[in-house]
Amino acid sequence: MGIPAAALIKGGTPPADRTGALSAFIVLFAAGQTAGPWIAGVLADGASAAVTLAWTAILCGTAAIVAATARPRRSARSAPAGDPAPRDRAPEATPS
């Protein structure tokens, strides 16, 4: 979970907001890991295992669609595409 979440956050979140965004991802992930099996058990006991599997397939399909169509937001603070960052520029030659 750590590497994909960190990559999504780095690509779509301003540097000042990355810590809060990663902590929100981790909290939601932990809540899902805790509540998911319990909710699936309640669904299976109340209806059937097929309902639980169908619900899981719907959630996974929705997540796949969201992930496939998501576009990273371009920050207003980022450099224009043609302007390399200062660390990417070659050092300027000084006359001797």
Q: Mean pLDDT of all residues in the chain?
A: 76
Residue 50 in any domain: the answer is yes
Q: Which domain holds residue 53?
A: 2-71
**Is residue 64 assigned to a domain?**
yes
CA gap 13, 73 in Å, rounded: 8
- Asked if the structure places residue 37 within a domain, the reply is yes
Helix, strand, coil abundance in the chain, percent, nearest 5: 70, 0, 30
Whether 39 is in a domain gets the answer yes
The total domain count for the chain is: 1
Q: Which helix H or strand E contains 28, and what residues bound it? A: helix 18-46
Residue 30 has pLDDT above 50, yes or no: yes
Task: Give the sign of the dihedral formed by CA 70, CA 8, CA 63, CA 22.
Answer: negative
% of residues, the chain, pLDDT over 90: 10
pLDDT digits (tens, 9 = 90+) for 37-83: 888 788 788 888 788 888 889 989 998 898 888 776 665 455 455 55
